[in-house]
Structure 1
Amino acid sequence: MFDPKPILKNLPNLPGVYRMINAEDAVIYVGKARDLKKRVSSYFQKNLPSPRTRMMVSQIERIETTVTRSEAEALLLENNLIKSFMPRYNVLFRDDKSYPYITLTGDAFPRLAFHRGTQRKGNSYFGPFPNAVAVRESIQLLQKVFRLRTCENTVFANRSRPCLQYQIQRCTAPCVNFISEEDYRRDVSHATLFLQGREQQVMDELSHKMMQAAEEQEYEMAAVYRDRMQSLRQVQAKQFVSDFTISDADVIACAELHGQLCVNLVMIRGGRHLGDKSHFPKNAEGADARMTAEAFLEQHYMPQNTPPLIIVGVEGMETAELEEVLSEQAGRKVKINTNPIGDKRVWLKMAQTNAELALEQRSAANANQQARLVALREALDLPETTERIECFDISHTMGEATVASCVVFDRGAMQNSEYRRYNITGITPGDDYAAMRDALTRRYKKVAAGEGLLPDLVFIDGGKGQLGVAVEVMHEVGLPDIQLVGIAKGEERKPGLEQMFFPDRDTPVGLRNDHPGLHLLQQIRDEAHRFAITGHRARRGKARMHSSLEDIAGIGAKRRQRLLTRFGGLDGVKNASADELAQVEGISPALAQKIYDELH
């Protein structure tokens, strides 16, 4: 048994972070403390109220601590350590760096764009948004009202005439100097104010510009400002949260059903309700709403922009230190309200309803998937312990840019975070057997070495040939006991005619069209195919883009520049005929034909 007395005796009464470590030398819990001595000592009382805490304490072999200068610094360090170690007894949420943003670049003529990932200096970012649809709808709206460019810099720098966006009045064509830099900057300023929720200021400026243009008898320009004001009024009438005194806010509610927890996040940006997103934490068994909400606030807001108001539907939370850290990070005051009143309580109730509905839907979907899994086990005579299923597929275009995919079904659902793609090289183009051998070997060598989880069942998208390759690989890597099944699409490759091949059975097995086990198999197989073909298309597109002009002999920087300028970008060059290419200065008919052949 672990004796905590020597450690507790020497702990200081200072803020810091502590790490609980088990016999396998794995960090099982990370926590922060205002007073390390008091907080760590509380885990070793005789009557711990939480079974979850008692289970964690029973596994402790040693404790490590780090003293910090303040409680706020401890909070930041705790968040970083949780993401590094992913401890078993911390409530974990997915890393929210994948949230999408709208960005205005720092170019002379700033570009309006969709952004996801690391933020760069010099650009302005607005968000985060709950999903990509909300971002794209907002970009389309901004294009309609403020007519900002969305084209890539390579296209922008090589335009010789305005594109279709200008023709349909979604851009002012700064690429060909149809608008001055000063006027374009003014449009960017208006778009920024709009994204910040200051629509009325934009309306006032547009109204002033309209009246000024009318007085100067520039009636066409006055009509442009009038149309923009009308578009803005239409926007203000849609999903506008007029009862919020702060234009940017998040509303967070937590719900529980059958031991499963859900956090629903409603996002309000620029005074508009953008939608919501439900989060389902890991390692939340035995956790309560307060613990879950605190974990979400820390893990969600630490890596990204924070709105000035966060409404949380969990009472009794200690929010002072988190407010301090978030305010310092945002460079302005951030308020966490755990006891809203009036209209804000109505919004919180809506978020609570969303969380409860999400849990009910997830529970129903999991029950349905579990029933399908049971039916598949019975139909294929698989052990009752079969839970984790992995499926492989190969995708290529006549041998080009071959990609193998592996998708995972486990715990009653597809586990997207565990999917893997494998770029296949060094094989004869179009050799699916060699591609499957490469992918299986790379994956299960690591599994045999203890990296990753051992599957109960592996589906191979293919018939006897692919299955034979899989059997050989499993013996080579030392995993001969994994159950393997080959899935052949059957005659005419129609859904419902699938046949399953087993290494130890002479005849294939087929299931009727309405069999729930077949539906699960099709779902997993189709997901493997989708994941493979998405990766293949991306790799193929990248390869073709790279080899487009730069790798064609006889095309140097000057000729490449002339081609791009003449046709307005690479797509224009690709769409040009050999005769059109030959009209470019420095491009002979023979070279034009060579360029055309290389690009096609």
Structure 2
Amino acid sequence: MSNSLFETLQQDVKRLPGLPGVYRFFDEAGHILYVGKARNLKKRVSSYFQRTQLSPRIENMVRKIARYETTVTRTETEALILENNLIKELSPPFNILFRDDKSYPYVMLTGHAFPRLASYRGKVDKRNRYFGPFPNSWAVRNSVQILQKVFRLRTCEDSVFKNRSRPCLLHQIHRCSAPCVGRLSEEQYGQDVMQATRFLEGDHSRVLSELEKEMEAHSEAMEFEMAAVMRDRIADLSSVLQQQSMDTVADGEGDVDIIAVAQMEGMICVNLAMVRGGRHLGDRPYFPKGLRMSSGEQASPAEILETFIQQHYLEDESTEGGASTTNLIPPVFILNHSLQIAAEDSGSSEDKSVESLQSLLSIQAGKKITFLHQPQGQRRHWLAMAEGNAKLALTKRLVETGGQLARARALADVLSLDLENLEQLRIECFDISHTSGEATQASCVVYAKNDMQSSEYRRFNIDGITPGDDYAAMRQVLQRRYANFQELPVDKLPQVILIDGGKGQVEMARQVLTEFGMDISLIVGVAKGEGRKVGLETLIFADERKPLELGIDSAALLLVAQIRDEAHRFAITGMRAKRAKARTVSRLEEIEGIGAKRRQKLLARFGGLRGVAGATVEEIAGVDGISMTLAEQIYRQLH
């Protein structure tokens, strides 16, 4: 910025009103640089042009300012809302930008007579009940498994539930009470649902007390089998609560979000830990998008925390089609820094907007919101753990800067996967291979622990379908692969199911996963591009997400292509071996006079059917038991 321009801007800001509003800085090319809010526009904007000492980050921005625009609002709260919307819409490079991902999973209990238990993402239906949110899908799966084990609620789709004639496998392994075939009444099932609801709401002691009373009542009535069932439920629930080391809080802790910011080597991480119903559900790291600050340009922790809370919790248009952010807002926020210095980089104490942010969150949530940064007791332990996890996430992020880890990180970011670390990423990829319908075989390859796991590869012989029907083949292999997914440990459940194919194959996968009660958001189809060239593929999804064309330079697509190609290689080698074996047997069996012993001798001598076909009549006749006449017959048949 030239001195004349700087002086012009200095004079111009003197004419600004002393009212609340939003300001926007632009460079010479007209590109947005920064969006900010102010209680007093004149004081706030003029503070950037006072030639006083600014932070390196702000000073670097001021040198690029060519012009500014302002919008006056009635209140500072309105300025806060407008700033939040403009930041998300314009993505200014000098603002701290966090990925706007509110797609949290929930535990859902449907509103049926026999409610279904399931994990859920998306738009809320008022007919159902939702518990959460949970920081990641692992926490939801773990909670669903606990509820299945203790309360034995159904997880099957309605189409399956209505058409059962006998109990399924889950009933046999004591994970479902089989209401589909009348093994218990609607009233009895409702009691289990009520206890599961109380457990999710954190009323653990009352649930245990009710179970103990039921056990005693059954025992007094000499219903010893039911008493034993209640005893096992009590033991399972007690075991779960003991294993969850974070479930040591006193009653009334309720819902709390713990937010800790950490900075390391120019990178920033905000770690969000969630406590719902007194249970610590885990945490989730967030990293500013497109912002890696060099030394000396780091924003203050208070500014980072305020920006994260503003962008993450305030309601806006981006929440359409999903659960309202009102469900995300707990009554208590525990922070590792005070927010009272959020305006320190501007040198102005005028714009301490913590009260406005707190008031706006309270209005949106319909309850009083409290910010704590020096908690005591159990909450202090939670905060220390959140800070430690933020530093661990930063360390891992710094390590994951190249090669396979960079590709895995890129894919996790593109698909918005809930992962504490890349070691948790498990991808299973399926491909179908055949020759004009002959020797159809499916492959499943596994990517886990940041590498291909060849010991976990599987091939599936596909039978009982119309030759060449790839859709039916895909349906069969997925049914066989995931028939018993409920019995798998959490670390063996995939976060991504790659399907080598387009919309038809993806639809087959959606149908199978729906039948089994699995999350269809796991499905990612890889549709080939023009000329089947790597880099032109399109990722398609089974849920409502739009297709993605990542481009040839995408690290995420390189990993997808690597896994897809490995599945294709594994499928086609198995198919060729199966085809060769089938063709060898059939073509030699068609020759009169060739039985099992002679066929075995021929194949052993020449190493297979290709070797037999390449031999001369005299060489074939040299095999024990093969006459010259028979050798001539074999030669003619194979040629």
* TM value normalised by structure 2: 0.57
Match of 1:252, SS? strand
> In structure 1, what is the Cα distance between the partners aligned to 2:68 and 2:528?
51
Pick from 79, 88, 91 the counterpart of residue 93 of structure 2: 88
Residue matched to 1:142 = 147
Asked whether 1:528 is paired with 2:548, we answer no
Deviation at 1:297, TM superposition (A): 1.8
Asked whether 1:76 is paired with 2:99, we answer no
Report if the CA contact (8 A) 2:529-2:538 is conserved: no
Residue matched to 1:35 = 40
Residue matched to 2:305 = 293
Asked whether 1:237 is paired with 2:242, we answer yes
Residue matched to 1:488 = none
Residue matched to 2:382 = 347
Residue matched to 1:52 = 57
> In structure 2, what is the Cα distance between the partners aligned to 1:169 and 1:423?
38
Asked whether 1:309 is paired with 2:332, we answer yes
Q: Deviations over 1:358-397 (max 9, x none)?
A: 323332333788999xxxxxxxxxxxxxxxxxxxxx9974
> In structure 2, what is the Cα distance between the partners aligned to 1:143 and 1:24?
59
Counterpart AA for 2:87: I
Report if the CA contact (8 A) 1:252-1:351 is conserved: yes
> In structure 2, what is the Cα distance between the partners aligned to 1:431 and 1:307?
42
Residue matched to 2:363 = 328
Cα-Cα RMSD: 4.1
Counterpart AA for 1:436: R
Between stretches 257-266 and 341-350, larger displacement belongs to 341-350
Residue matched to 2:531 = 435
> In structure 2, what is the Cα distance between the partners aligned to 1:442 and 1:267?
35
Residue matched to 1:226 = 231
> In structure 2, what is the Cα distance between the partners aligned to 1:14 and 1:265?
34
Deviation at 1:312, TM superposition (A): 0.8
Greater C-alpha Rg: 2
Residue matched to 2:159 = 154
Match of 2:328, SS? coil
Report if the CA contact (8 A) 1:30-1:78 is conserved: yes
Deviation at 1:97, TM superposition (A): 1.9
Counterpart AA for 1:363: L
Deviation at 1:293, TM superposition (A): 1.6
> In structure 2, what is the Cα distance between the partners aligned to 1:48 and 1:531?
55
Residue matched to 1:279 = 286
Deviation at 1:527, TM superposition (A): 4.0
> In structure 1, what is the Cα distance between the partners aligned to 2:226 and 2:559?
54
Asked whether 1:359 is paired with 2:394, we answer yes
Residue matched to 2:476 = none
Report if the CA contact (8 A) 1:424-1:435 is conserved: no
> In structure 2, what is the Cα distance between the partners aligned to 1:173 and 1:73?
53
Residue matched to 1:18 = 23
Residue matched to 2:584 = none
Residue matched to 2:614 = none
Report if the CA contact (8 A) 1:255-1:356 is conserved: yes
Cα 1:326–1:212, aligned 2, differ >3 Å: closer, same or farther?
farther
Between stretches 257-266 and 26-35, larger displacement belongs to 26-35
Cα 1:147–1:10, aligned 2, differ >3 Å: closer, same or farther?
farther
Report if the CA contact (8 A) 2:336-2:383 is conserved: yes
Counterpart AA for 1:141: I
Cα 1:183–1:12, aligned 2, differ >3 Å: closer, same or farther?
farther
Counterpart AA for 1:223: A
Q: Deviations over 1:410-453 (max 9, x none)?
A: xxxxxxxxxxx99699xxxx99794336964999xxxxxxxx99
Deviation at 1:155, TM superposition (A): 1.9
Deviation at 1:253, TM superposition (A): 1.8
* TM value normalised by structure 1: 0.60
Asked whether 1:193 is paired with 2:190, we answer no
Match of 1:30, SS? strand
Residue matched to 1:508 = none
> In structure 1, what is the Cα distance between the partners aligned to 2:134 and 2:80?
25
Cα 1:80–1:432, aligned 2, differ >3 Å: closer, same or farther?
closer
Cα 1:21–1:170, aligned 2, differ >3 Å: closer, same or farther?
same
Residue matched to 1:133 = 138
Q: Deviations over 1:110-164 (max 9, x none)?
A: 2211123333333322223232212111100011111111112222233233222
Deviation at 1:534, TM superposition (A): 10
Report if the CA contact (8 A) 1:97-1:117 is conserved: no
Match of 2:401, SS? helix
Cα 1:160–1:333, aligned 2, differ >3 Å: closer, same or farther?
farther
Counterpart AA for 2:137: A
Deviation at 1:165, TM superposition (A): 1.6
Consecutive unaligned residues of structure 1, counting only runs of 5 or more, are 373-393, 401-420, 444-451, 460-520, 536-600
Counterpart AA for 1:170: R
Match of 2:187, SS? helix
Deviation at 1:332, TM superposition (A): 2.6
Deviation at 1:192, TM superposition (A): 1.8
Match of 2:156, SS? coil
Match of 2:285, SS? strand
Match of 1:98, SS? coil
Pick from 155, 170, 183 the counterpart of residue 188 of structure 2: 183
Consecutive unaligned residues of structure 2, counting only runs of 5 or more, are 315-324, 341-351, 408-428, 438-499, 505-525, 540-547, 569-639
Percent identity among equivalent residues?
47
Counterpart AA for 1:312: L
> In structure 2, what is the Cα distance between the partners aligned to 1:194 and 1:125?
13
> In structure 2, what is the Cα distance between the partners aligned to 1:184 and 1:6?
74
Cα 1:10–1:158, aligned 2, differ >3 Å: closer, same or farther?
farther
> In structure 2, what is the Cα distance between the partners aligned to 1:231 and 1:251?
29
Cα 1:143–1:45, aligned 2, differ >3 Å: closer, same or farther?
same
Q: Deviations over 1:242-291 (max 9, x none)?
A: 24651432222222222212222233333333333322213252222221
Counterpart AA for 2:561: A
Between stretches 132-141 and 196-205, larger displacement belongs to 196-205
Cα 1:130–1:215, aligned 2, differ >3 Å: closer, same or farther?
same
> In structure 1, what is the Cα distance between the partners aligned to 2:430 and 2:80?
46
Report if the CA contact (8 A) 2:527-2:537 is conserved: no
Asked whether 1:204 is paired with 2:174, we answer no
Between stretches 137-146 and 83-92, larger displacement belongs to 83-92
> In structure 2, what is the Cα distance between the partners aligned to 1:140 and 1:433?
40
Asked whether 1:268 is paired with 2:280, we answer no
Asked whether 1:248 is paired with 2:255, we answer yes
Counterpart AA for 1:190: Q
> In structure 2, what is the Cα distance between the partners aligned to 1:250 and 1:186?
31
Cα 1:206–1:316, aligned 2, differ >3 Å: closer, same or farther?
same
> In structure 2, what is the Cα distance between the partners aligned to 1:110 and 1:424?
32
Residue matched to 1:510 = none
Cα 1:33–1:431, aligned 2, differ >3 Å: closer, same or farther?
closer
Q: Deviations over 1:512-541 (max 9, x none)?
A: xxxxxxxxx9x9844433378999xxxxxx
Cα 1:12–1:216, aligned 2, differ >3 Å: closer, same or farther?
farther
Q: Deviations over 1:48-79 (max 9, x none)?
A: 41222222233334434444454334333332
> In structure 2, what is the Cα distance between the partners aligned to 1:226 and 1:208?
11
Match of 1:175, SS? helix
Cα 1:289–1:62, aligned 2, differ >3 Å: closer, same or farther?
same
Deviation at 1:5, TM superposition (A): 6.2
Between stretches 349-358 and 8-17, larger displacement belongs to 8-17
Report if the CA contact (8 A) 2:550-2:557 is conserved: no
Cα 1:26–1:326, aligned 2, differ >3 Å: closer, same or farther?
same
Deviation at 1:87, TM superposition (A): 1.5
